[in-house]
Structure 1
Amino acid sequence: MGKKKNYLKSPDLLPISEQGRTITSFGYSFMWIGMVVVLATFAIGGAGVINLSLPYVIIATIIGSLAIGLFISLTADIGIEHGLSFPVYMRAPFGTIGTHIPSIVRGVTASMWFGINTYFGSTAINAILNLLYGFDNWFICFLLFAIVQMVNTALGIKAVERFADLAAPIIIIISCWMYVSLSNTASAQGRDVWSWVESPVTGGAAFTAFLVVIFSNMGFWATLSADIPSISRFMKAPKNERSWLKRNKSSLIGNLIALPLTQTFMVVIGGVSYIAVMNYDPIVGLQQAASGFALGILLLMIVLAQWSTNISANIVPAATIFSNVGGPKFPFWAGVISAGIVGTVVQPWNLFGIIIPVLLFVGGILSAIVGILVADYYLLRKRRVNVPDLYETTGQYRYLNGVNIPGFIAWILGGGASYFVPSYSFLVGFFVGAGSYYMLAKYWWFIKYKQAEIEDPDDEKYLGITVGRDWFIEESLDEVKDNIIGGPPVTDIGTLKQ
């Protein structure tokens, strides 16, 4: 009888070596261009211009985007330094079993976003087909669009990057066209998009509205700031580079340049759309602002944007999480299918009107996880990680029956605090989560459950690419045999040697 299989060693979750990292700074920036173009981004602009002039909405968006870009860059280093995905590193602050609970919350949230964006894209596809052939059945468009996206993602991260490279330039060009079309509609109605507001407010109300735009932008990307390691582990980075800034160059360019620029432009389009036709949904605005071939091209941009967004920001993270929960016999492609099923079962077409504030609330809860990750990785372990033990059922991250209690206490405190101050949910959740986790872990839990990298902070033992290391996770002969015979496809077996 063979040795019991280690459920933590799914081939799709093993550390990515330097050779396996294919995403360049250019490719990552293009991913951001595609990820930002979603209905919720337009909604921030539409809601903003109700109380503020467009220039103030732009300033608030830039501030919020730069702030969340910084948080994303901090957590991205986990993937860049050690090649680890989000659910695997979560074993450190939550335990080898406890990691599943917060991971599933993020996975379900990502799947719901997948459903929302697929529905948004399917309405555009339906409009195109109706324009060309008189076809009118958005649900069939939804199912077909979902299947195509899942197949694209299941082909691997290189296919994701190649699609982003194709879609991004088209999205940029057509976004400019969209802006001009909507601006002309507004001008034709005698509305100046750079000064007109609906029910303008002043004083304290204006300041509050300004803060709401800032934290809406931050809350919107809170989910990705938690699980960005699932993408950043595929980013190219220099070996033996001690400088954090140089090592994270690709991440910083995408998070602090591509994200703020694209986010701001799309918020502007949402604001202009609301000014032009009293609706932040550009599909509605475009159908009034354009017709014929021009309308078809503009709607095609919406489709490409949802496709690109869903793959990078939603399906990849969700599939990685579900694969982690399912264990070695539940490969990445099965996680992709699971994400698609969850995204459909929640019926995004019925939840469409309320789902954005709900998911922003969830973002506030997840901000506590971001705080816990930052405190655990930077303040306690100082970027040093005992990576092999992350894959051991009886290693140092087992804690109490697989659960790290301070992680859950801090998550409850941070998430609960964010609930009472929704306008500041991200910052409150982050700092309460980080502070409480640091105090509980350092002065209580880690005294009882010793952590090797904290007791002996040796660079050569516990750093990754900074000291030129590719982490190698050994598997038993039975595990290798199971993986080859009944596990992942041949293309995944190579990760066993990384």
Structure 2
Amino acid sequence: MSKENNHLKSPDLLPVSYAGKKIGSLGFMIMWVGMAVVLAAFAIGGAGVESLPLGMVILAALIGCIAIGFFITIIGDIGIEHGLSFPVYMRAPFGTVGTHIPSVVRGLAASFWFGINTFFGATAINGILFVLFSFDNWFLCFMIFAFVQLLNTALGIKAIERFADLAAPIIILISIWIFSTLSGSAAEQGRNVWVWVENPASGGAAVTAFFIVIFSIMGFWATLAADIPTISRFIKAPKYERNWFKRNKASLLGSVVAMPLAQTFIVVIGAVSFIAVSNYDPIIALQEAASGLVLVVLLVMIVFAQWSTNIAANLVPAATIFSNVGGPKVPFWVGVFMAGIAGSVVQPWNLFDILIPVLLIVGGILSAIVGILFTDYYLLRKRRVNVYDLYKNNGQYKYLNGFNVAGFIAWIVGGVAAYFLTNYSFIVGFVVGGGTYYVLAKYWWFRKYQQAEIEDPDDEKYLGITVGRDWDVDGNQQSEKTIMEKGS
């Protein structure tokens, strides 16, 4: 094997085999419960009840969550079918070198979210220690909390699932407690959380506010919708299953059932926090509404929530991306600590009010990548992928010096459109980016650089788990028949 090819064949980036898929339906649902508890969701809820009653905010949140959940599942099939991570498959629509540019944008966004969520969790830890021991040093809490999360993530994907198993039930139970506590606090002020609205909107303004809640949620999760293959490659799925819904059952249960329920409830907590103390930050709300041991237990939920969210939604995707850029010299655990450092040096405690809107804009721009991935995988390649060439510098995905120009033009066009229509950025970026890529790739780029799976649409050659195949790209390429016999 040549040294040149080794760069693309870092052990942490090879296709995950059938035996390597360790996350079941329940495990993925539990992971989503942890990932759903994020500061942005609280903020969306708080902003929503400024102009809409809580019931309308809940309906909008459910619609947005279910919609983005379907997009996440659709893109997640890349990981389930072929065992490929996000930065590896991105070599198809962007090139073996070009993949690094959009991937690093996503990796940095994930790293910055890690910093923000760690700061959020550190303030909760500091609050706990202050109540119990009168200790007050949030920066020390930040450093220790960050290190513990990085160490946990570096242990690997199964360790992440085990932690989520512990965190999820605690998060659910204490979330209910927080809702009850804050609702009671609001009631004491004469505010019924179900009817109180600070500045009620009506007519067209109410419709606009309703859609802003929907697309805010979709825009926020656009980043994970793009790189969900990094997680979904570890999700269990049946071999030889051609029915898309049956093959993606575990993914659907997590992204379209568990996530909408958990995420919507977190949006509600942010809304009730705002109603109770005019601040969507539940840490501030709880410190005003509770005290003593009750406050400590409630703040523990915040800590667990940020921990589980950071591991699955931020550190794993970022570390995988950084490992892809660095090759074998940057194994997964090194990528984890790179993400942690990047998320800390931006000093999220100083840039907090700036980072949130910036990262939401980045999410909108990345929605164009979701559209490009959908078009490339479903509409052009019909789910067939010449996986072996994804790991060759001189294979079909080399294109023009490692760049797929069609992908970059589509990303720029879709990203710009999403930027100027921020309130509807996900749909705009998805449609414009995906549509532009379809035209450019089909009628221009792929005529210059022919793709084997498009020219010869053979399921037995280019599908993965559907035909019982484990992709072996590390020098032991066996015939499809042999591989299928082993898997039967």
**Normalized against structure 2, the TM-score is what?**
0.97
TM-superposition CA deviations, 1:381-404 (whole Å, max 9, x none):
000000000000000000000000
Q: Distance in 1 between matches of 2:243 and 2:200?
A: 47
Give deviations 1:114-162, integer Å, cap 9, x for gaps.
0000000000000001111111111110010000000000000000000
What's the counterpart of residue 78 of structure 2?
78
Looking at structure 1, the residues matched to 355 and 2 of structure 2 have their Cα atoms a distance apart, in angstroms, of 48
1:390-405 counterparts in 2 under 5 A? 390-405=390-405
Measured after TM superposition, the shift of residue 354 of structure 1 is 2.4
Who is 1:416 aligned against?
A: 416
* Counterpart residue identity of residue 135, structure 1: F
Q: Report the Cα distance in structure 2 between the residues aligned to 1:257 and 1:269, rounded to whole angstroms.
A: 19
* 1:120-135 alignment, distance < 5 Å: 120-135=120-135
1:43 corresponds in structure 2 to 43
Paired position in structure 1 for 2:238: 238
Quick one: distance in 2 between partners of 1:66 and 1:98?
32
Query: 1:295 maps to which residue?
Result: 295
1:475 Cα offset (Å): 3.9
Does the CA contact (< 8 Å) of 1:6 and 1:393 recur in 2? no
CA deviation after TM superposition for structure 1 residue 474, in Å: 2.6
Report the counterpart of residue 324 of structure 1 in structure 2.
Answer: 324
Name the CA distance, whole Å, in 2 between partners of 1:449 and 1:148. Answer: 47
Cα 1:385–1:275 change in 2 (3 A) is: same
- The residue that corresponds to 1:486 in the other structure is none
Q: Name the CA distance, whole Å, in 2 between partners of 1:405 and 1:415.
A: 15
Structure 2 match to 1:438? 438
8 Å Cα contact 2:9-2:474 kept in structure 1: no
Residue aligned with 2:350, SS: helix
Equivalent residue, structure 2, for 1:95: 95
Residues 2, 29 of structure 1: CA spacing in aligned structure 2 closer, same or farther, 3 A cutoff? closer
State yes or no: 1:468 paired with 2:468: yes
Measure the CA separation in 2 of the matches of 1:119 and 1:291: 22
- Counterpart of 2:16? 16
- Which residue in 1 is equivalent to 2:455? 455
Q: C-alpha displacement at 1:10, in angstroms?
A: 0.3
Question: Partner letter of residue 25 of structure 2?
Answer: S
**Distance in 2, Cα, partners of 1:466 & 1:416:** 37
Amino acid corresponding to residue 102 of structure 2 in structure 1: P
1:36-58 per-residue CA deviation (whole Å, 9 max, x = no partner) reads 11111111000000000000101
Superposed displacement of residue 288, structure 1: 1.1
**Structure 2 CA distance, aligned partners of 1:69 and 1:399?**
33
Matches of residues 166-245 of structure 1 in structure 2 within 5 Å? Answer: 166-245=166-245
Q: Deviations over 1:11-45 (max 9, x none)?
A: 00000001011001101011110011111111100
The count of residues paired between Structure 1 and Structure 2 equals 477
Corresponding residue for 2:343?
343
Q: Contact 1:8–1:391 (CA<8 Å) still a contact in 2?
A: yes
Once residues 242 and 67 of structure 1 are traced to their aligned partners in structure 2, the CA distance between those partners, rounded to angstroms, is: 23
Partner of 1:242, secondary structure, is: coil
Equivalent pair of 2:5/2:392 in contact (CA under 8 Å): no
* Matched position secondary structure for 1:201: coil
Residues 181-216 of structure 1, C-alpha deviations (whole Å, 9 max, x = no match)? 000000000001000100111111111111110100
Q: Which amino acid aligns with 2:270?
A: G
Contact 2:5 2:391 (C-alpha < 8 Å) held by counterparts: no
* Alpha-carbon separation, structure 2, partners of 1:249 and 1:307: 26
Quick one: distance in 1 between partners of 2:350 and 2:384?
46
- 8 Å contact 1:96–1:403 — kept in the other structure? yes
Give how far 1:3 is off.
5.0
| Secondary structure of the structure 2 residue equivalent to 1:271 | helix
Q: Distance in 2 between matches of 1:295 and 1:387?
A: 52
Counterpart residue number, 1:30:
30
Do residues 381 (structure 1) and 367 (structure 2) align? no
Separation in structure 1 between the aligned mates of residue 321 and residue 144 of structure 2, nearest angstrom = 24
Task: Kindly state the Cα deviation for residue 2 of structure 1 after the two structures are TM-superposed.
Answer: 7.5
**Unaligned 5+ residue runs, structure 2?**
477-486
Aligned-partner residue type, residue 194 of structure 1: W
1: CA distance, partners of 2:33 / 2:420: 33
- 1:97 is paired with a residue whose SS is coil
- Provide the alpha-carbon RMSD of the alignment: 1.2
Structure 1: distance between partners of 2:366 and 2:332: 23
Confirm or deny: 8 A CA contact 1:80 1:234 kept in the other structure: yes
Query: Is the 1:364–1:426 contact (alpha carbons within 8 Å) kept by the matching residues of 2?
Result: yes
What is the CA–CA distance in structure 2 between the aligned matches of 1:439 and 1:457, rounded to whole Å?
Answer: 20
Q: Which amino acid aligns with 1:353?
A: D
1:280 aligns to 2:280 (yes or no): yes
Partner SS state of residue 469, structure 1: coil
Q: Gapped runs of 5+ residues in structure 1?
A: 477-497
Q: Which runs of 4+ in 1 moved over 6 A?
A: none
Residue 358 of structure 1: CA displacement? 1.2
Using the alignment, how far apart are the partners of 2:264 and 2:39 within structure 1? Answer: 14
Q: How does 1:250-261 map to 2 (within 5 A)?
A: 250-261=250-261
TM-score normalised to structure 1 length: 0.95
- Spell out, residue by residue over 1:310-360, the C-alpha distance to the aligned partner (whole angstroms, 9 max, x if none): 000000000000000001111000100100000001111011122222111
The answer (yes or no) to whether the contact 2:5–2:393 under 8 Å persists in 1 is no
The Cα offsets for residues 88-112 of structure 1, whole Å up to 9 and x where unpaired, read as 0000000000000000000000000
CA distance in 1, matches of 2:304, 2:200: 35
2:106/2:318 contact within 8 Å kept: yes
| 1:74 counterpart letter in structure 2 | I
Aligned to 1:483: none
| Cα distance in 1 between the residues matched to 2:225 and 2:130 | 38
Q: Equivalents in 1 of 2:209, 2:3: separation in Å?
A: 60
Report the equivalent of 2:482.
Answer: none
Question: What is the identity, as a one-letter code, of the residue corresponding to 1:101?
Answer: I
Aligned-partner residue type, residue 248 of structure 1:
N
Q: Please give the alpha-carbon distance, in whole angstroms, between the structure 1 residues aligned to 2:266 and 2:121.
A: 16
1:6 Cα offset (Å): 2.6
Query: Which residue of structure 2 aligns with residue 247 of structure 1?
Result: 247
Moved more, 70-79 or 350-359: 350-359
Secondary structure of 1:224's match?
A: helix
SS for the counterpart of 1:326 is helix
Aligned AA (1:357):
P
Q: Deviations over 1:442-488 (max 9, x none)?
A: 00010110100000010000000000000001349xxxxxxxxxxxx
